[in-house]
Amino acid sequence: MIWMTADKPGWRDPAAHAGADAHMRKLMHLLGMRIPYLRNRTERLERSAKVYAAAFRMPPDEAYALSLAARFHDVGLLGVPDAILLKPSPLTEEERKAFDYHADVGGRLIASIFPGFPDAAEGIWWHHERYDGKGPHGMKAEEIPLIAAIVGFLQAVEAMANGRPFRQAMSLPEIREEVRRNKGVQFAPHVVDVFEHQAKNLYTLLVSQTASPFSSRPAGGSSPSGSPAPSEATRSASEGSSAPARAPVSQPISDIDDLQPVITKKELVRLVTEGLKLRPLSGTAQLVLSTTANAQCTVEDVAQAVETDQALSLRLLKLANSTAYARGRPVDTVLEAVKRIGNTEVRNIVLAISMLDRFHGRIARYIDPWLFWEHAIASGWLARSLAHSSGQARDEEGSYFLWGVLHDVGRLLFLDSVPDQYAEVYEAAEKRRLPLEQVETRMLLMDHGSVLARAMEHWNFPQELITPVVNHHEPLHKMRRLGPKFVQPAAFIALADRLAHALMIGCSGNDALYPLEDLADLAGATRDALLDAVKQAYDQTRTLKMTLLARTHTDAWPDFCEQTRQRLSRPVRAVHAAMRPEWNPFALFFGRLRGKNVDIAPNLGVIYLYDTRDQPTVLSAYEKAERRAGVENLPVLIVHTKGKVNGDDAWIRARTSVILRTPVRVGALLAAVEDLLGRTTAVTAQPVPV
């Protein structure tokens, strides 16, 4: 969901495109009548695409875009001559160029018929690109969109499994060997990793259910390799892994696939819209918003608008004199406060306070309101601090604080409008230990960012305040499409949110830990900016929450970090290793968790692999870290993001170890720690590729 303008009805709703989808299927049927080896290929690729959508945790709209690209990527072949399509020998260079042109034709066709799914058109345009850059257009590695990389891989494996006029069908072992040989050459490694994990299942889904004219495999029977018969194609996507059957600690990716919507999108939008009518901005907030919308407004105009609310005026004065804004002598009038803080930042502070007041009080039995707003304020301060260190103008810094306060308000709108359904979402996320926003998308067909966008438009927020914050959970390749004006703010907000999670400052109901370095690189955040922000985060959040929220005694505030610490049966002190230690979220987490237990000896190793290709280097760094700490052979928690950990590594097998994959819920992390500290034999969670 890249929210640039108001959502068009049905723009990203697959149901609205059912007619066009049906027509495209007819075109593919005609193509199959003309080219026998493409008959029923659409269905085979559709089933396989679902496995990949689940493996990469794609939201429904992105999963549908993948499905479109997988099913219709060859529709452009309708314009390729039979002499090329049915040629019983390999194509010449000129014939290959004519053949490759079908991707351009198909991409343009899908772009015109399904304009709400540009990812699908991209997936078709670039599906013949190679990871090594030797494809038709020279795109390479991460330049190739994920959907294109998946479609290119699936169509290649489907061709191997069923054969072509110039090539016999291959057995599963032969396909595996070919795929491994081309990993990182023709095929993207992270796409191959999913196949490696579910090879038998994907082979079953991709192989034709009728005897291929290019194979000796009988229809409905087993392949010469003994691979499952096509009649087993209804098996779940989680079966068929070649990984060893060891006790899992983290929940398999496919567990999200069985979650069903609990409400239609149309009904959800209706209920949210009705709820917004009962949650208007305060009169003062509306007045300040309209006043600052005039480019000619003065500080006197803004001060006059703020002074219509005495309680707001007092909070603004306290904030202007706090350590976050104090510059020189104390101020004692609203006008002086506005002069110190600036018109734009005053607007943002007033809007933030308005949100705090609109949704103050009990939120839900399973979300503590004080922890929710503490997380929001911490995210706001962290985003502002990181932006300041990157050289943002002072007026722009205030927007970052507002965005931090707002970023999870969509969750409150869900609780306000559909409390029973959201309770189901929360329960499912807790049970499966999945990030809350992923379960929202699956069960509500929208995440809290989408709902926040509708609310901010309803409240007449300017577009430049809407786009960055509502996209804070988008993957990096989608953030980049926001354009230069919005990509850095969106990345900073997302990074601040993740930092607040890692530091356990408050809790929004979702306690997942995510990688940091990808967003840091996108935002342009520096190591010094991070260290400065982390150093001040707790104290600055404490000051701001006492200023902005009506609670007088700090001792009365719940402490999420202490609550988490109490869930462990013993203190933990960890030895860490990572490729980029400064961006290690688990070092931040366990550092806070350790608290005052400075005298205990290290009793846990934590290895963080953002990219598993760095495994040998990081394992070596960890050994050195153990020696520096004066310990050896600690039980080890290994957390990875990209790729698949080599669990057969002799170093790992010699240790008591658990392997988890990001994002990791705190509950799963603590369960792994308890397991490690209570065992003496090595166990690893079944690695699931990302």
The last residue of one of the domains, among 549, 576, 606, is 549
Whether residues 491 and 582 share a domain: the answer is no
Q: pLDDT band at residue 392, thresholds of 50, 70 and 90?
A: low
Q: What pairing do the DSSP bridges indicate for beta strands 604-611 and 636-642?
A: parallel
Per-residue pLDDT of 166-211, as tens digits, reads 566 788 888 888 889 899 999 999 899 888 888 888 888 877 544 3
Region of poorest pLDDT, from 8-12, 164-168, 183-187, 459-463: 8-12
Per-residue pLDDT of 332-365, as tens digits, reads 888 988 888 888 888 888 888 888 877 766 566 7
Per-residue pLDDT of 503-520, as tens digits, reads 999 999 999 999 999 999
Rounded CA separation 308/311 (Å): 9
Rounded CA separation 320/323 (Å): 8
Assign residue 280 the CATH number of its domain. Answer: 1.10.3210.10
Whether residues 469 and 330 share a domain: the answer is yes
**Does residue 228 have a pLDDT over 50?**
no
Checking 270-277 for CB contacts under 8 A at 24+ apart, the result is 271/417, 271/418, 272/413, 272/414, 272/417, 272/418, 272/451, 272/454, 272/455, 273/454, 273/458, 274/417, 275/413, 275/416, 275/417, 276/413, 276/454, 276/455, 276/458, 276/459
Q: pLDDT band at residue 48, thresholds of 50, 70 and 90?
A: confident
Structure confidence at residue 211 (pLDDT):
38
Residue 330 lies in a domain: yes
Residue 453 lies in a domain: yes
C-alpha torsion 652→655→660→661, nearest 10 = -20
Structure confidence at residue 105 (pLDDT):
75
Structure confidence at residue 525 (pLDDT):
92
Whether residues 367 and 439 share a domain: the answer is yes
The last residue of one of the domains, among 206, 223, 247, is 206
pTM assigned to the model: 0.62
Mean confidence (pLDDT) of the chain: 80
Residue 1 lies in a domain: no
Residue 452 lies in a domain: yes
Classify residue 632 as exposed, middle or buried by CB count within 10 Å of its CB (0-12, 13-18, 19+): exposed
Q: What is the length of the chain? A: 690
CA distances from 687 to 150, 243, 339, 644, 647 (A): 20, 8, 56, 6, 8
Whether residues 514 and 587 share a domain: the answer is no
Assign residue 640 the CATH number of its domain. Answer: 3.40.50
Cβ–Cβ < 8 Å for 658, 683: yes
Rounded CA separation 416/275 (Å): 7
Residue 2 lies in a domain: no
Structure confidence at residue 244 (pLDDT):
33
Domain count, the chain: 3
Whether residues 497 and 613 share a domain: the answer is no
Q: Provide mean pLDDT across the span 599-619.
A: 93
The last residue of one of the domains, among 206, 231, 246, is 206
* Residues of the domain holding 91: 14-206
Whether residues 151 and 280 share a domain: the answer is no
Residue 466 lies in a domain: yes
Q: Provide mean pLDDT across the span 61-65.
A: 86
Rounded CA separation 493/386 (Å): 9
Q: pLDDT band at residue 483, thresholds of 50, 70 and 90?
A: confident
Rounded CA separation 191/206 (Å): 16
Residue 68 lies in a domain: yes
Whether residues 328 and 435 share a domain: the answer is yes
More confident residue, 287 or 246: 287
Q: Provide mean pLDDT across the span 594-623.
A: 90
Q: Which of 232, 240, 230, 237 minimizes the C-alpha distance to 208?
A: 230
Residue 233 lies in a domain: no
Whether residues 403 and 481 share a domain: the answer is yes
Whether residues 295 and 173 share a domain: the answer is no
Neighbours of 654 (CB within 10 A): 10
Whether residues 417 and 506 share a domain: the answer is yes
Structure confidence at residue 267 (pLDDT):
94
**Does residue 551 have a pLDDT over 70?**
no
Structure confidence at residue 578 (pLDDT):
97
**Does residue 100 have a pLDDT over 90?**
no
Whether residues 340 and 274 share a domain: the answer is yes
The H or E element that residue 126 is part of is: none
Whether residues 175 and 311 share a domain: the answer is no
